[in-house]
Amino acid sequence: MQNPLQIRRKIILGSGSPRRRQILEGLGIPFEVTVLSTDESFPEELSHHEVPVFLAQKKANEFKKLCNDDSSVIIITADTVVSIRGEILNKPSDRQEAIGMLEKLSGTSHEVITGVCISSRESRVSFAEKTTVYFRQLERTEIEYYVNAFQPFDKAGSYGVQEWVGYVGMEKIEGSFYNVMGLPISAVYNELRKFSIS
Amino acid sequence: MQNPLQIRRKIILGSGSPRRRQILEGLGIPFEVTVLSTDESFPEELSHHEVPVFLAQKKANEFKKLCNDDSSVIIITADTVVSIRGEILNKPSDRQEAIGMLEKLSGTSHEVITGVCISSRESRVSFAEKTTVYFRQLERTEIEYYVNAFQPFDKAGSYGVQEWVGYVGMEKIEGSFYNVMGLPISAVYNELRKFSIS
């Protein structure tokens, strides 16, 4: 029996995140990965829910020429931010900043918002999904162990939900789990169905 | 830097589930897997929250001799049930039953409850954790594709959250994600800390 998603177009994931790649592989459809560098700055007046959509669209803009050259292409770009008490936590620049971020997340809840842009030559759809994550109180030794052993410097908010600190510290979530990992895959699937021929 | 969990005892996961094994590996501590067969029947008067704890304890009982022979052993057993509108969904016996279960889960919420028993010669702790899972409306073709391609006959409720139908159909959860996979690992970690020497 064939996959309900039958897309006779070239799907490109425009993200270097191995986690996004792993999640998209869950759909069981072929795709390629192409990473184009994007300046990740954004206007300060944007709300925390607008920022990841803005950045997903900005990443999609880098693929405009590729879409114009090949009308069969569908591009998926995404950006994930961690928001806590009015502050966006980006990727930490060093060990101290990573420890500081995890101390902020300890014993309270925060929001993970992923913006997605699905674009082709003829169309563009953008949306954001939010998941609330609750961490228990983390001990200083736990935070230091995690940062030293896992070096979470490529992760917004300094943690990976599928790494040690996600296993031991995450008490519960409200929303999509895969959204916290970097791609709200159920919503992405729903958009991709519009391109499906079956 | 060493793992904050320092247990100088032999930890045994008494479960044949590859998913539970994968989750427990997330703690980064050594353990063995030993599977002893257990009759999984339970008294009908038990509530849906009591059933998985009862079965986790029943599984632990099989290890009593092993615990008596080796005082260093810590046994982790678990059982997961899917509960919807007052009914427990067990493992489906065939394709038709699997399709019927997924049709029940489609377009509504259900509860996944995992009971855990952590036992040694001198102690025994049991608890249950509940996660609410929301599936969007699934199409018949999606359900049939999933059952045919993934053969979810070893899974309570006929689905694996980390498989195709979990990616495309699960809109959101409330609670621990790893609990839905079969082991509420943050709670297990908290119990194991009591055995830690550091």
Note the pLDDT tens digit of each residue in A157-194: 999 999 999 999 999 999 999 999 999 999 999 999 99
Contact A13, A66 (CB under 8 A): no
Name the nearest CA neighbour of B119 among B191, B190, B183.
B191
| The two structure tokens encoding residue A117 | 């842009």
Interface predicted TM-score of the whole assembly (ipTM), two decimals:
0.91
Rounded CA separation B36/A162 (Å):
29
Q: What are the tens digits of pLDDT across the range A152-164? A: 999 999 999 999 9
Rounded to an integer, what distance in angstroms lies between the CA atom of residue B68 and that of residue B94? 40
Which two structure tokens, joined as six digits, stand for A176?
Answer: 């999509």
What are the tokens at A146? 């995690």
For residue A65, give how far its alpha carbon lies from the nearest alpha carbon of chain B (Å): 30
* Helices and strands per DSSP (H, E), number in chain A: 8, 7
Tell me what the pLDDT averaged over chain B comes to. Answer: 96
Alpha helices in B45-94 (DSSP H): 50-61, 64-69
Provide, as residue numbers in chain A, all residues whose Cβ is less than 8 Å from the Cβ of B131.
172
DSSP A44-79: TTS-TTHHHHHHHHHHHHTTHHHHHH-TTEEEEEEE
Residue that is written with structure tokens 């929301």 in the block: B134
Cβ–Cβ contact A62 with B under 8 A? no
pLDDT at B1 over 80: no
Sign of CA dihedral A53, A54, A59, A64: positive
Residue B198 has pLDDT above 80, yes or no: no
The pLDDT, as a whole number, for residue A1 is 77
The pLDDT of residue B112 is 97
H or E element in which residue A13 lies: strand A10-13
Q: Kindly name the residue from B39, B70, B79, B94 that is annotated as catalytic.
A: B79
Q: Is residue B172's pLDDT more than 90? A: yes
User: Distance, in angstroms, between B68 CA and closest chain A CA?
Assistant: 30
- When pLDDT is averaged across residues B144-165 and rounded to a whole number, the result is 95
C-alpha span between B142 and B148 (Å, rounded): 10
Residue in A closest to B174 by C-alpha: A174
Mean pLDDT of B97-122: 97
CA distance A159 to B193: 21
Rounded-to-integer distance, Cα B35 and Cα B13, Å: 8
Which sign does the torsion angle of CA B32, B35, B36, B41 carry?
A: positive
Residues 89-118 of B with CB under 8 A from A: none
Name the amino acid, one letter, at A104: K
Of B161, B177, B189, the CB nearest to A173: B177
Is B197 within 8 Å of chain A by CB? no
For residue A27, give the amino acid letter: L
Cβ distance B168 to A27 less than 8 Å, yes or no, reads: yes
Rg, Å, chain A Cα set: 17
What is the distance between the alpha carbons of residues A166 and B99, in angstroms, rounded to a whole number? 33
- From chain A, the residues in CB contact with B144 under 8 A are 1
d(CA A102, CA B148): 43
CB A74, CB A125: distance < 8 Å: no
Residue-wise pLDDT for A3-36, tens only, equals 999 999 999 999 999 999 999 999 999 999 999 9
For residues A129 and A133, what is the distance between their CA atoms, to the nearest angstrom?
Answer: 13
- Is B171 in contact with A186 (Cβ distance < 8 A)? yes
The answer for A144, left when phi > 0, alpha when psi is -120 to 50, beta otherwise, is alpha
Quick one: average pLDDT of B25-40? Answer: 95
Residue B96's closest CA among B159, B53, B144? B144
CA distances from B182 to A115, A197, B24, B61, B82 (A): 29, 36, 10, 20, 11
Which pTM was predicted? 0.93
**What would the pLDDT profile of A38-96 be if each residue is shown by its tens digit?**
998 999 999 988 999 999 999 999 999 999 999 999 999 999 999 999 899 989 999 99
**How do beta strands A170-175 and A124-135 pair?**
antiparallel
> Cα(B188)–Cα(A3) distance, rounded to whole angstroms?
37
Checking if the pLDDT of A198 tops 80, the result is: no
Asked if B79 is an active-site residue, the reply is yes
Output the furthest CA–CA distance in chain A (Å, rounded): 53
